[in-house]
A = this chain, B = another copy of it.
Amino acid sequence: MFTQSEENYLKAIFHLQQEAEKGVSTSKLSALLETKASSITEMVKKLAEKNLVNYQKYYGVELTDTGRKQALIIIRKHRLWECFLVEQLDFKWDEVHEVAEQLEHIKSEKLIDAIDRLLGHPKTDPHGDPIPDKDGNFTKKNTSLLSECRVGSIGIIVGVKDSSPSFLQYLDKQCIALGTKFNLRHKEPFDNALEITVNDQVIKVSHKMASNLYVDIGYTS
């Protein structure tokens, strides 16, 4: 069994590993966990002793197979709880993260399996992120960003890269949600702002916004 702190480190390392190929640096972890670099070094050594990470002084860490498995169990729990909060308790998608951060540490396999069953084994969480199964398998994360689409594309919003409340609330205000079908009409060369249509309504999407929206692209018109 692991402490909450250890679980948070494993999760953080997993997420940072997704982005960069190389070992995860102390400073990246420090920034993500909002913990001083010296504390990171200390904990990382402990994780290495428990064979959850491989650690090379000055060159960062990476998860071992057991570490990765453990990280995925925690991520599975986090995302299932998020689904539960939205689907059963009518939480909004911008309200779930903080509570799920707590719930993910509850230790009971039976509990999380029951939640999974109650929800009908969902494949993605309210932000479009995939939910690993019990063995840690999960369908690769969405990769296409709206910002990278060609003018003329039609597609569906399937996920958000940034799931901070402020971004999610902004999307709500713009009437952009997961599942929203759009038509990419125009790209402004000056600032890369986009214009998409959703139900024949024109919506302006800044480059920054577009680079935080995952999409499934359909046929090009």
Within 8 A of B (CB), among A68-104: 85, 88-91, 95, 98-99, 102-103
Q: Does A115 contact B (CB under 8 A)?
A: yes
Contact B114 A91 (CB under 8 A): yes
Chain B residue at minimum C-beta to C-beta distance from A108: B99
Q: Does A57 contact B (CB under 8 A)?
A: no
Identify A107's interface contact among B102, B106, B107, B115, CB under 8 A.
Answer: B102
Contact B102 A114 (CB under 8 A): no
Chain copies in complex: 2
Q: Does A110 contact B (CB under 8 A)?
A: yes
Chain B residue at minimum C-beta to C-beta distance from A99: B108
Q: Does A33 contact B (CB under 8 A)?
A: no
Chain B: minimal CB distance from A120 (Å):
14
Chain B residue at minimum C-beta to C-beta distance from A106: B102
Q: Does A118 contact B (CB under 8 A)?
A: yes
Q: Does A111 contact B (CB under 8 A)?
A: yes
Identify A89's interface contact among B91, B102, B111, CB under 8 A.
Answer: B111
**With a CB–CB cut-off of 8 A, which chain B residues contact A95?**
110
Identify A88's interface contact among B103, B107, B118, CB under 8 A.
Answer: B118
**With a CB–CB cut-off of 8 A, which chain B residues contact A114?**
85, 89-91
**With a CB–CB cut-off of 8 A, which chain B residues contact A110?**
91, 95, 99
Interface string of A109-123 (1 = CB under 8 A from B): 011001100100000
**With a CB–CB cut-off of 8 A, which chain B residues contact A107?**
102
Known: A89-B115, A89-B118, A91-B114. 11 other contacts (CB 8 A): A85-B111, A85-B114, A88-B88, A89-B111, A89-B114, A90-B114, A98-B108, A99-B108, A99-B111, A102-B107, A102-B108
